[in-house]
Chains A and B, each alone.
Chain A
Amino acid sequence: MAEYKVQFEVFEGPLDLLLYLIKKEEVDIYEVNLTKLATQFIEYVELMRQFDLEVAGEFLVMASTLMYIKSRELLPVEQQVQVEPEEEGEDPRWELIRQLVEYKKFKDAAAKLQTLEETQEHIFPRVPGKIAFETIAAAPAKPEVGIFDLLNAVNAILKRIADKESGTREIYEDKWSVSEKIEFVREIITTRGAVKFSELFAQAATRAEVVCTFLALLELIRLKQLACVQPEPFAEIEICQATVQPVAAAITESAAPPAEPAAANPESADAPNEALAEEAEVDDDEDDDEDDDEEAEADENKKPQ
């Protein structure tokens, strides 16, 4: 006896067990002999008890249903109690068969889902260009375009102007104001969408004009109307409207909207002016005083409220 090894299948419930028993009989569900099935089912429940398995209540309910069906079948048809369909519901046999068929279909569906689950484990999505995308993502991650990047850029332009101006010197009337330049920058951005940093200063002929334009730019960034973006490290800074968010950024997810941090950071808005004022003091020693005045004036405007 001790050598016997019993293959004991785990059934998900009484219906599962019934389906198993029907399958073993190799008959169609509709043609199954329910009384025979009842006997086998009860034998099985008995077996479960012998193995000290906890017999779930559902199994006992099913066993009693089967017993009921079997007991009805014991009577000759003429002697069976004629139950009104409305009175006692459906024929219990039919009810059970219907339930079995329904359960069988869902069991098959579950098997199909299982196949899908397995297949899905073997499917790999295309995740393209990771490396290329990371560099782009890295650029905005480098807190967008910081104030020092802007200062470096404007210094380069100032240097170019200084080269141009060296030698001959003319004294002009100061023609530009920061507010005028704000209008100018806005217009360029609205008509062209985005513009390269150097293009903003393309027409500037004097140091004073460059400074005015630059201050206008800083002011607009502070007001969160414009944003500076660097498409990739060391590329030229681009100025665009702050509200426009590239669709690609929303889709690649990893890249934060490039506009916000630079414009939103009050410290960096503060820092520029101080840095600029210092810069102006150092650089502009031999330059005319109007610049400094204007810068100081603009500086005041820009102090965070």
Chain B
Amino acid sequence: MELKFILESLLFSAQKPVSVKELRDIFTAAAIAEDADETAKSLKKVKDDEMTAALEELAREHETAARSYRLACVAGAWQFVTQPEFSPWLRVLVGEKIRPSRLSQAALETLAIIAYRQPVTRAEVEQVRGVNVDGTMQTLLERNLVEQSGRAEVVGRPALYGTTALFLEYFGLRGLEDLPAADELRRIKIERPIAPITADAGLATAPPEQLQLNEEAAIKTEEPPAPSSEEMPN
């Protein structure tokens, strides 16, 4: 009997998402049971990474089979879930999901910054967003999507914030590494462009060479340097 199929049967019957640790407990308990057979005994000390690998393989198999459901891992716990496109019928069957109201744009932005940058202080979040985040932070803390994770070792020892397990559940993420484009956003390195940022020549800054030409022209013709003086007031 293959490990992944044992896992599949367990997850098929589980009443809630099951973590690898809980699965391990099941294997240990099954091995010491009175009527445990050789397979059960041999799986007594199954390793966590072995189990994770089997679960991932199982999830891949379900994915390739393109069924109406898949094996999902949310916040480290595995569970069978339906594919989103079947929700119109499922809503009728099981009723509307009880979920808090959707997050506002401001809350989502704040949450994104905290999620990618954690642990992060409030001031750092404000610096990225360019606005005060007191209100949205309060909302996120109240909804338990964010929590204080410590204090920064800088002057004033400001509170550091991080996301909670509920955050992962709410967005259906396996872990923080599962965040979209996580590597890129965690520490953004923005390359400074080689070419200097120049304003529209006609509007404000006259390019130096043009200015030069105008001055030369002015000297030659002994006329006031009309173009640049006209543009200056703009």
- What is the interface of chain A, defined by CB distance below 8 A to chain B? 12-16, 30-36, 56, 58, 62, 70, 73-78, 93-94, 97-99, 101-103, 105-107, 109-114, 116-129, 133, 192-194, 246-247, 250-254
Q: How far is the CA of A56 from the CA of B126 in the complex (A)?
A: 14
- Is B81's CB within 8 Å of the partner chain A? yes
- Number of B interface residues in the complex (CB < 8 A): 68
- Is B18's CB within 8 Å of the partner chain A? yes
Given A13-B131, A73-B199: A112 and B34 within 8 A (CB)?
no
Given A12-B106, A110-B109, A124-B87: A73 and B116 within 8 A (CB)?
no
- Mark the stretch among B38-46, B190-198, B216-224 that contacts chain A: B190-198
A113 and B129 contact, CB distance less than 8 A: no
Instruction: Count CB-based A-B contacts (< 8 Å).
Output: 182
Q: Mark B177-199, 1 if CB is under 8 A from A, else 0.
A: 00111001100101011000101
Q: 4 closest Cβ contacts across the A-B interface? A: A13-B131, A122-B87, A122-B84, A15-B130
Given A106-B116, A110-B109: A15 and B129 within 8 A (CB)?
yes
Name the contact of B13 in the complex, choosing from A62, A111, A128 (C-beta under 8 A): A128
A14 and B131 contact, CB distance less than 8 A: yes
Say whether chain B's binding surface is mostly helix, strand, loop, or mixed: mixed
Name the contact of A103 in the complex, choosing from B14, B128, B170, B232 (C-beta under 8 A): B128
Contacts A102-B188, A250-B25 supplied; 8 other A-B pairs, CB < 8 Å: A14-B131, A36-B199, A76-B205, A109-B179, A113-B112, A121-B97, A125-B80, A252-B15
- Chain B residues positioned under 8 Å from A97 (CB to CB): 197
- Is B172's CB within 8 Å of the partner chain A? yes
Name the contact of B111 in the complex, choosing from A35, A73, A110, A252 (C-beta under 8 A): A110
Q: Point out which of A112, A116, A125, A251 has the most chain B C-beta atoms below 10 A from its C-beta.
A: A125
A126 and B180 contact, CB distance less than 8 A: no
- Is B102's CB within 8 Å of the partner chain A? yes
- Chain A residues positioned under 8 Å from B204 (CB to CB): 35, 70, 73-74
Given A12-B106, A117-B103: A56 and B131 within 8 A (CB)?
yes
Given A128-B12, A128-B13, A247-B25: A103 and B81 within 8 A (CB)?
no
**Distance (Å) between the CB of A71 and the closest chain B CB?**
9
